[in-house]
Structure 1
Amino acid sequence: MTTIKQDVFGEFQDPDTGVKHEVKRFTLTSLSGVEVEVISYGAGIRGIKAPDKRGNIEYVTLGFDKFEEYKKFPFIGSSIGRNGNRIGKGKFHLDGVDYQLTINNNENHLHGGKRGWDKYNWESARIDNAVVFSLLSPDGDQGYPGSVISQVKYTLSHSGELRIDFEAMTTRATPINMTNHAFLNLGGHSSGRKSLLEHVFTVNADCYIPVSETLIPTGEKASVGGTAFDLRCPTTLGEALEKAPGGGFDHTFCLHNKTRGKLEFALRACHPSSGRVLEVYTSEPGVQIYTGNFLPKEKGKMVGYNGHSYTYQGSFCTEPQNFPDAINQPKNFPDNVLRPGKTYSHSMSYNFLVEK
């Protein structure tokens, strides 16, 4: 069975109210040796430990020893909302009204804005074999319409599958696109870019979404055939990134024959020398693959567990989600508008395995 332990990871002072809150940490441990730490700040993953083929267990996520570092480096392991990824110029038109969101990524709105949901300390509770976080986002938060109540539930199976379930309800029509932003390296959190390039990826996607120079979708879906994005057969990231525009991925892959709302296979990543394998499943139509292109290029700028530096392309993210900027692409992309009386739901899972 999976065990859950709870302690205090730090103290958070809300910048709006000045009120101080305990940052709670929950440690879920499975029979397989997979261990997951989640914290109330950002309803995020503080760390995941997984065994390799020799029985060695270590962190396969980036993370920090002290809570204060999570405030300094946004999105590390966090739950992302209201809207993961980018919205072009932070603008959209919905039900006859023009909205302007906060701008925090060049000229665009990214991952919920200047104070997205990753920067809140969520309410937390342990329910049976799961940990549940909840947050109330007020009407007008970061420019979005409607008050939204959201929930993130983490469940770890005895076999090492981490399931994350997102839900939200709103008082007014508003775009919602939630995901998790864990930074991963199956070779171990400190193994760096060399290890990242050794990963073998298989992605269930026959199309990807081209983007502009500021990473906003052009509105089309392009075939992966003959491009760096063709990961339908096992391909090392090193081989793929040699052909990738700008030398890295920060793109959404459109899952093949995806039934929205049904948990289905998205991708498989394998690190051959350690034997660690990650399988990702999602109920959403896409998965964003990001290869740590904006991590610092100098050592010592971002220091994680046990004093190890995290640098450029030393990890990857696999973020299951709807397509970016879907609110501005209603004819081409799946709808991402949540309306009163309806429930937004997105389920995803990280299944950690060992290949001898």
Structure 2
Amino acid sequence: MKVTALNVSIKSWGLYNDQEIFLVKWENSDGSYVEFTNYGATIVSVVVPDAGGDLSQVVLGFNKFEAYLADTCYIGSTVGRFANRISRARFTLDDREVLLEANDNLNSNHGGFSGFNSKVFNIDITSDAVIFSLISEDEEGGYPGNLELKVKYTWTESYELSITYQAISDKKTIANFTNHSYFNLSGINNNITDHSLLVNAGKMLEMREDYLPSGKVIPCGAGRFDSDKLSDKLVMNDGRLTGVNNYYILDRRPGPGELQHACTLKEETTGRSLEVFTSYPGLMVYTGDYLSSNFPGNRNAALTEFGGICLECQHYPDSPNQPGFPQAILEPAELYEEVILFKFFYNN
């Protein structure tokens, strides 16, 4: 591992299965910074200024590596091989039934027990990027193909955090990677219900009670986010406050090399905003209804329900079992490449 970026530092952060875990910090000239760990190719910190110039953490994360071992909420991690749920933990590919790990009742979620959130990645730090890589072996978690994945992070002086996913497989398979950060722009011990959200989508997937799509594409209707307060979308269900866990189909599918504006998240008190751009066709919005942690040492907002919001750009959930959906099939030797761009800024 060679460090050539002058503004990037790296330190040992622990051991996992005899593999060394590192914490990588990439700092800007004004003191703003991001931190990553090679455990799960995870975003640990994003620290940016508010309208008054004060720096604060705006993603949920932990101070200690051991907390990530206890985490069950995928906090900040890279998700794969397939983001979101696959019904009955199985699908058919070229007349072959592929059996996956069922880690969400009868379904498979975020790659099952073999998900990339708990894998130790290799690190390559260059003058302009932090690159995490791993090899997922054929049949790991049930997925066909030896798959090589690279997760490339870049960070700029204008608070732009970019993620590029590149993958290649030696067998026909399915692939769908995303980042599972929980954003909280308030930067204090507060929930995200006062944040407002705009999603550039007029259609969404109809979801069943088990958070799997029914197969229908429907108008957003009451589920539409048009700079609405998140608190306006919360509903009391059987004595429990529930939020949003929906997949939105973005209005425009970008051409090669292009990104589309997926959403804008704002928090008035700090003046902070986050714009998300992507090459993916859709966005999963999850308001952290089941967010929890039994480990002390979270860096900002309390790790309890509605402590952060996930804005997961990805392919359609359960697409292998939904022939009417665009498919996330990766052919042998074909290059998988998708991009997510988080742009943080503040209003004076």
- Shorter-chain TM-score bucket reads over 0.9
Aligned position for 2:335: 343
Report the residue type matching 2:334 in the other structure: K
Matches of 2:144 and 2:300 in 1, distance apart? Answer: 42
8 Å contact from structure 1 (residues 31, 159) kept in 2:
no
8 Å contact from structure 2 (residues 187, 300) kept in 1:
no
Aligned position for 2:7: 3
Q: SS of the counterpart of 1:6? A: strand
Aligned position for 1:17: none
8 Å contact from structure 2 (residues 15, 21) kept in 1:
yes
Deviations 1:7-28 (CA, angstroms, capped at 9, x unpaired): 1121111xxxxxx111112111
Could you state the TM-score of these two structures normalised by the residue count of structure 1?
Answer: 0.91
Matches of 2:264 and 2:329 in 1, distance apart? Answer: 30
8 Å contact from structure 2 (residues 59, 183) kept in 1:
yes
Deviations 1:251-305 (CA, angstroms, capped at 9, x unpaired): 1111002226531100000000111100001100001110111123xxx735333
Matches of 2:64 and 2:294 in 1, distance apart? Answer: 15
Aligned position for 1:201: 197
- Listed as ranges, the gaps of 5+ residues in structure 2 are none
Tell me the CA shift for residue 71 of structure 1.
1.0
Report the residue type matching 2:24 in the other structure: F
Matches of 1:43 and 1:103 in 2, distance apart? Answer: 23
Aligned position for 2:248: 253
Aligned position for 1:170: 169
Aligned positions, number: 340
Deviations 1:51-89 (CA, angstroms, capped at 9, x unpaired): 111111111111111101101103110001100000001
Matches of 1:289 and 1:313 in 2, distance apart? Answer: 12
State the superposition RMSD in angstroms: 1.9
Aligned positions of 1:1-356 closer than 5 A: 3-13=7-17, 20-31=18-29, 33-74=31-72, 75-188=74-187, 190-192=189-191, 196-225=192-221, 227=222, 229-231=223-225, 233-242=226-235, 247-259=242-254, 261=256, 262-296=258-292, 301-305=294-298, 309-330=302-323, 332-356=324-348
- Listed as ranges, the gaps of 5+ residues in structure 1 are 14-19
Q: SS of the counterpart of 2:193? A: helix
8 Å contact from structure 1 (residues 48, 61) kept in 2:
yes
Q: 1:323 to 1:260 in 2, by over 3 A?
A: farther
8 Å contact from structure 2 (residues 190, 301) kept in 1:
no
Aligned position for 1:16: none
8 Å contact from structure 2 (residues 234, 242) kept in 1:
yes
8 Å contact from structure 1 (residues 79, 117) kept in 2:
yes
Matches of 1:277 and 1:29 in 2, distance apart? Answer: 20
Tell me the CA shift for residue 162 of structure 1.
0.1
Tell me the CA shift for residue 100 of structure 1.
0.8
8 Å contact from structure 1 (residues 288, 317) kept in 2:
yes
Matches of 1:322 and 1:308 in 2, distance apart? Answer: 29
Could you state the TM-score of these two structures normalised by the residue count of structure 2?
Answer: 0.93
Tell me the CA shift for residue 197 of structure 1.
1.1
Higher strand share: 2
Tell me the CA shift for residue 141 of structure 1.
0.4
8 Å contact from structure 1 (residues 106, 214) kept in 2:
no
Deviations 1:144-174 (CA, angstroms, capped at 9, x unpaired): 1111000000000121100000011001111
Q: 1:288 to 1:260 in 2, by over 3 A?
A: farther
Give aligned-pair identity as a percent. Answer: 33
**Which segment is superposed worse, 108-117 or 252-261?**
252-261
Matches of 2:19 and 2:132 in 1, distance apart? Answer: 14
